[in-house]
């Protein structure tokens, strides 16, 4: 008995995901692609109707009218594509601008769609231009269909993500990622169908480091243990701006850390942008923090920079007694290159 073909559904289908690994796979048949830093998006078209869905399944359609318009202008009337919503701004991709697009006011959405238009970076196809499901097809077949779709679309709002099947190319991209070109590399098995919600792909992220001044700390919730160190960098005017935090401090290291911080308590802390209240990502976190003399330097590992802050928590690597606090400036932080510039850098 032949199994029925799986069909993508805007109500039920979620994107295939990737598992974080330390290095690129050396054996097997793989397709390597840049890892883009935006909003994952499945785009569905049925007749005149276009739907955009986030990785969570939440609708994105109303927030990106320029992408909806671009997909409505595609000659094909039925298709499902997988990609990443990105906003090029100046010489970089702006995740801040992307977040600002999720606004409740329609007038604001319309204004931002004109001022900071998005692009949809395409990298997979779940249903072809006849509406036939491609989910059971291998990656090579899906990629051929996607390339034909992109060629016919002829839209400045749609981009086609580059790829290579050579490990040496992927290693070269990853080495350039360390200089801010991209966020990492995705490895996709060539002999595999599209598997929604499964971590069937691999991702290798470029993790960068920065030397930061410890301008303060927060206690762990309901405890006298130190929960996080607050990190700062000096701006061009010599002010210490709060840029993020590092946490995950082991119980075994609490005593030594408290001794290290004790003589520094009561210092001036941050002289520029200071820590605010609860994080927008975690509203339960206390807004209270203790200021320190800006003496200690911590080397931390980070992944993304949004604006002038680490988007996520960082990982503490080591103390840097060999560095002066004033050497800890913003020029250490690396920002992502915009798509066109990145493609030119990678492919010439």
The CATH number of the domain holding residue 304 is: 2.40.50.140
Q: Are residues 83 and 232 in the same domain?
A: no
Q: Can you give the CATH number for the domain in which 105 is found? A: 3.30.470.30
Tens of pLDDT, residues 261-288: 999 999 999 999 999 743 433 444 446 8
Q: 50 and 155: one domain?
A: yes
Measured distance CA(164)–CA(306) in Å, rounded: 28
- What pTM was estimated for this model as a whole? 0.72
Q: Both 55 and 153 in a single domain?
A: yes
Does residue 327 sit in the same domain as residue 228? Answer: yes
Residues 193 and 126 in one domain: no
Is 226 found in the same domain as 134?
no
User: What are the residue numbers of the active site?
Assistant: 35
What is the percent of the chain with per-residue pLDDT over 90, rounded to a whole number?
63
H-type helices in 76-228, by residue range?
A: 95-100, 106-115, 139-153, 167-177
Q: Residue 286 in contact with residue 241, Cβ under 8 Å?
A: no
Over residues 322-339, the pLDDT tens digits come to 788 998 998 888 655 555
Q: Please give the pLDDT value at position 341.
A: 59
Total domains in the fold of the chain: 3
Mean pLDDT within 139-147: 98
- The partner residues of 84 in beta bridges, in order of sequence, read 40, 121
* Residue 180, domain extent: 17-35+165-206
Q: CA dihedral defined by 87, 89, 94, 96, rounded to 10 degrees?
A: -100
For the segment 193-210, the average pLDDT, to the nearest whole number, is: 89
**Helical H runs in the chain?**
65-72, 95-100, 106-115, 139-153, 167-177, 254-261, 339-347
Distance, first Cα to last Cα, the chain: 49
The predicted structure's pLDDT at residue 134: 97
Instruction: Tell whether 30 and 46 lie within a shared domain.
Output: no
In tens, the pLDDT along 17-47 reads: 999 888 999 999 999 999 887 899 999 999 9
Same domain for 155 and 169? no
Inter-axis angle of helices 65-72 and 106-115, to 10 degrees? 70
Please report the pLDDT score of residue 337 as a whole number: 52
Read off the CATH number of the domain in which 172 is found.
Answer: 3.30.1490.70
Secondary structure (3-state) at 255: helix
24 & 137 share domain: no
- The average confidence (pLDDT) of the chain is 87
Instruction: Verify that 176 and 28 share a domain, yes or no.
Output: yes
Contact 274, 299 (CB under 8 A): no
Please indicate, yes or no, whether residues 108 and 190 belong to a single structural domain of this protein: no
Higher pLDDT, 4 or 54: 54
Asked if residue 231 and residue 149 are part of one domain, the reply reads no
Q: pLDDT tier at 198 (50, 70, 90 boundaries)?
A: very high
């Amino acid at each position: 008995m032949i199994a029925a073909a799986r069909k993508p559904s805007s109500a039920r289908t979620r994107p295939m995901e990737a598992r974080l690994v330390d290095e690129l796979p050396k054996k097997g048949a793989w397709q390597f692609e840049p890892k883009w830093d935006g909003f994952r998006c499945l785009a569905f078209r049925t007749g005149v109707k276009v739907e955009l869905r986030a990785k969570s399944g939440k609708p994105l359609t109303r927030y990106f009218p320029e992408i909806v318009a671009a997909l409505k202008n595609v000659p094909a009337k039925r298709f499902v594509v997988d990609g990443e919503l990105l906003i090029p701004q100046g010489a970089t991709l702006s995740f801040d601008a992307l977040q600002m697009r999720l606004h409740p006011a329609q007038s604001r959405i319309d204004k931002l769609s004109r001022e900071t238009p998005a692009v949809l970076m395409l990298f997979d196809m779940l249903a072809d231009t006849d509406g036939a499901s491609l989910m059971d097809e291998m990656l090579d077949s899906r990629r051929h269909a996607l390339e034909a779709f992109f060629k016919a679309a002829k839209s400045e709002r749609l981009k086609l993500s580059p790829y290579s099947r050579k490990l040496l190319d992927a290693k070269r991209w990853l080495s350039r990622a360390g200089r801010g070109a991209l966020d990492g590399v995705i490895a996709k098995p060539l002999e595999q169908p599209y598997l929604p919600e499964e971590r069937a792909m691999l991702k290798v992220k470029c993790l960068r480091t920065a030397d930061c001044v410890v301008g303060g700390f927060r206690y762990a919730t309901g405890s006298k243990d130190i929960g996080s160190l607050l990190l700062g960098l000096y701006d061009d005017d010599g002010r210490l701006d709060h840029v993020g935090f590092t946490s995950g401090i082991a119980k075994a290291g609490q005593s030594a850390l408290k001794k290290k911080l004790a003589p520094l308590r009561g210092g001036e802390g941050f002289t520029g942008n200071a820590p605010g209240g609860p994080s927008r990502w975690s509203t339960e976190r206390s807004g209270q923090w203790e200021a320190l003399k800006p003496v200690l330097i911590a080397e931390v590992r980070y992944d993304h920079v949004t604006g002038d802050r680490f988007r996520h928590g960082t990982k503490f690597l080591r103390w840097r007694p060999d560095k002066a606090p004033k050497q800890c400036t913003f020029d250490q932080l690396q920002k992502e290159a915009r798509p066109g510039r990145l493609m030119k850098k990678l492919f010439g």
